Structure formats: structure tokens, C-alpha cells
Structure 1
Amino acid sequence: MAASYELKASARERVGKGAARSLRREGLLPAVIYGDKKPALPITIPVKETTLTLHKGGFLTHLGTIDVEGEKHQVIAKDYQLHPVRDELLHVDFLRVSKNAVLTIDVPVHFLNEETCPGIKRGGVLNIVRHTVEMTVPATAIPEALDLDLATAELGDSLHISAVKLPEGCQPTITDRDFTIATIAAPAGLKETDEAEEAAEEGEEEGED
């Protein structure tokens, strides 16, 4: 299951751009908690701790706890805004998560055994079609990642979602096809060599006739 984090927060009464700028000068960040059929709750969270949590990775796939003046809310970050120039956090949207909730999230794909992959060792290139897969997952069992093993992948192979062992209770939102996650593509030079070899073999066979 994905890791979790906890942030301290305070209820926020003032809203708007002016109030947000004032909060940031104080080292605070405007945010909101919504969902679970409850009113939206505007809050402030510390910029430093929230930025550190973001940079640890998996911010949009890890469950978190927001402690709002002693009342704890289990949440998952659904969106965040960055400054277009300074790349600083400007705002975060958190979704309340109940114990039996099912979430739709993008789960990252990890590729295993690249160094021993037969196709890559022959000069092939891992062409990643999907870095993440949108999935429905139980809130209490969010997978850290999907593992795709390249140990037996050859040149020209297409690797589909069916090659991934899915965690229990998790399934892709795309269900009508066995979609591609990655391919082992041959570089242009190798393709030309293979084609030349095939042409030569065909010529030899014709000569024998």
C-alpha cells in the first residue's frame, strides 16, 4: 500500500487572491478539503511541510491525514497548482476519503529487469507508451506502483496490461481492450541490418531454386 503523511492545518475564513498572498507571506498555503457528501472546508497548511511531501513523490496517490485544529480528516490530494515561473505551490485540493471508498487514480508503472532484458541487450529501446495507468482502487489498499517485468521481452515485443499482475481489488478504468504499456523498439540501424539479412536470405533461397 502507498505510504501516508500528516499535515497540521487551520480553518481558513478569508478567501480570494489577496488573502492567499497574505497567507504565503506567513509561510502558509491555502487549500480545501471536499467530498464525502460534506461541505467544503477551506484550510491553511504549512508551505514548507507540504512542499517536502510533494517532492517525496506519490503526492496524488498517497493517503494523508489533515489535522484541522484537532479534527483529523483522511484525504488524498486530487490537484495542486504551481506558480508558472517560480514553481512554488499555490493551492492544494484534498478529497475526503471514507474507509470503504473506491478511488480513481493514476498509478505509476515501474519497469523491472531492464538491465537483463533480451531485447534491450540486443540494442533495443524501451518505448514507454504509458508512464501511469488510470485505475479504480480501494482507498485502504492503494498500490505504490504497477510492476512490469522485462526479463523475457524481445525486440519488437509489445507489452500489454495483461502482462501486469494487478493488486487485489484494483482494475484499470479501460476494460474493453488489452492496451499497450510499452514496446521494445529496434533502433533504425538495427532494423536496416535485419531487413538486409532477410533480403540476402531470400536471394540465396531463390538462387538455390
Structure 2
Amino acid sequence: MSDTFEVVAEPRTDGGKGASRRLRRQGLVPGIVYGGHRDPQMVSVQHSELYRQLDYEAFYSSLLDLKLEGETAQVVLKDLQRHPSKPFVIHVDFQRVSAKDKLRMSVPLHFENEDTSVGVKAGGAVSHNLTEVEITCLPKDLPEYIAVDMARVDMGDSILVSDLKLPEGVELTYAMEPDTTVVSIYAPYAGEETEGAEGEEGEGAGGDITPE
């Protein structure tokens, strides 16, 4: 896990669309903090600071230090509403965490050794069916991501949800079907170029192709 992110919030008392619009005009994002066996509390956070932190993938799946009215509470980001056409966040939800209560979170998948896997070296193309999975765990066990090692995946092979190597204390939720394909390597259709093939042809010219 990385260093904990810090979110500074201020309490707010006015609800409704009109109050939320006024906050946004002031450069603030309306939000709510709930859970942790306490009443929900309406808050606001600085848009510029929140938007900066959203550039970090780990922000979405890490414990966050929420500073509010002189107190610090650990929370996780549970919901984020963005403007449909503009680079603005219009609402944010945080959930308080308790050391004894399990969290239900979506965490990203990191595909390791993809460009050097057996199947890609043989000219295969990679197809990602999932980019994140839903897990349950105690806050202390929350991973930033789940690693998927593709080094030995051959052309025609797949990695299923049941094949994922989960950190200790982490379980998949019942929403994840064990036989769901996570990623596969397939033989490209006629005329379809692959990253692996292009990489081999361009190797002499020093051209590396970086996967997404």
C-alpha cells in the first residue's frame, strides 16, 4: 500500500440542488460521509485538490485520511459523479471504515509481463475482459490493485477469475463468477497486426511498443 492520501473537508448544512450549485460556483464539491456506525454528514471539499488526487489510480482503492472539524477519520471513496461533458466533479461520497468491519470495494487489475508473454511473442493479441474486480477485506488488507501475471499465457489461453492470486485476507465477492474470463490471448485475424508482431519487426530500429 502507498502512503495514505489526505482529504480536507468542511461541514455543510444546506442541502438541495440550489445549495449544491452555489458550492460549485465557489470551487467546492458537495459530498457526504457515511458509515462507521455514525450518522451521515454532509461535507464539501475543494474541487481543485480533489481533482488533482483523482489522477492517481491508488486514490480510488486506498484508505484516505479525511480531515473534518479538527478530527481525522479513515474513509474510502465510494462514489464519484462527474459532469457528463465538462472536467468537473459534481458530487462525492466517502464511507467511514472500521478496523473490525470488512469493506466491499472494486480494485483495478494490473496486467504484468503482458508484452513478453508466451502468446504475445508468438504473435497473439491480448483481449481484456475485466479491468477491475470486486473484493471484500478488512481495511488493513485493502490492496491498491490485483496483479495478473501473464508471462506464461500462451496463444489460445485465458486467465479466469478463479485463477487470480489474491493477497492474504482478500476475497472475491459473490458478484464475481469464478469462470468469468479476465484476459485471453487469441490468434489475430488475417490482416490484423498485433503489438507483439510489430515489436519484433521494429526491434532492429529500436522501436518498442508500449501496451495500454
Q: Distance in 2 between matches of 1:4 and 1:83?
A: 27
**Greater displacement, 165-174 / 2-11:** 2-11
1:148–1:163 CA contact under 8 A, matched in 2: no
Q: Distance in 1 between matches of 2:2 and 2:95?
A: 16
Q: Distance in 2 between matches of 1:58 and 1:88?
A: 20
1:108–1:146 CA contact under 8 A, matched in 2: yes
Question: What does 1:5-154 align with in structure 2 at a 5 Å threshold?
Answer: 5-154=5-154
Count of paired positions: 191
2:32–2:94 CA contact under 8 A, matched in 1: yes
1:145, distance to aligned residue in structure 2 (A):
1.2
1:87, distance to aligned residue in structure 2 (A):
2.8
Q: Distance in 1 between matches of 2:173 and 2:7?
A: 30
Q: What is the alpha-carbon root mean square deviation over aligned residues?
A: 1.9
**Per-residue deviation, residues 166-196 of structure 1 (Å, max 9, x unmatched):** 1000011147634321111111229xxxxxx
In the alignment, what sits opposite 2:186?
185
**Per-residue deviation, residues 9-67 of structure 1 (Å, max 9, x unmatched):** 11101111111121122222111101122111001111111111112223331111111
Unaligned 5+ segments in structure 1 are 191-209
Q: Secondary structure at the match of 2:19?
A: helix
Q: Secondary structure at the match of 1:115?
A: coil
| AA aligned opposite 1:28 | L
Unaligned 5+ segments in structure 2 are 192-212
Q: Distance in 2 between matches of 1:35 and 1:148?
A: 32
**Greater displacement, 158-167 / 37-46:** 158-167
Q: Distance in 1 between matches of 2:95 and 2:154?
A: 42
1:2, distance to aligned residue in structure 2 (A):
5.0
Label 1:114 to 1:171 Cα distance change in 2 as closer, same or farther (>3 A).
same
Rg: which structure is higher?
1
In the alignment, what sits opposite 1:199?
none
Q: Secondary structure at the match of 1:148?
A: strand
Q: Distance in 2 between matches of 1:25 and 1:176?
A: 44
Q: Distance in 1 between matches of 2:177 and 2:78?
A: 26
Q: TM-score, normalised by structure 1?
A: 0.84
User: Percent of pairs identical after alignment?
Assistant: 38
Q: Secondary structure at the match of 2:24?
A: helix
Q: Secondary structure at the match of 2:49?
A: helix
In the alignment, what sits opposite 1:164?
164
1:60–1:79 CA contact under 8 A, matched in 2: no
Q: Distance in 2 between matches of 1:157 and 1:96?
A: 41
Moved over 4 A (4+): none
Q: Distance in 2 between matches of 1:92 and 1:176?
A: 29
Q: TM-score, normalised by structure 2?
A: 0.83
1:128–1:182 CA contact under 8 A, matched in 2: yes
**Greater displacement, 170-179 / 25-34:** 170-179
2:29–2:45 CA contact under 8 A, matched in 1: yes
1:155–1:184 CA contact under 8 A, matched in 2: yes
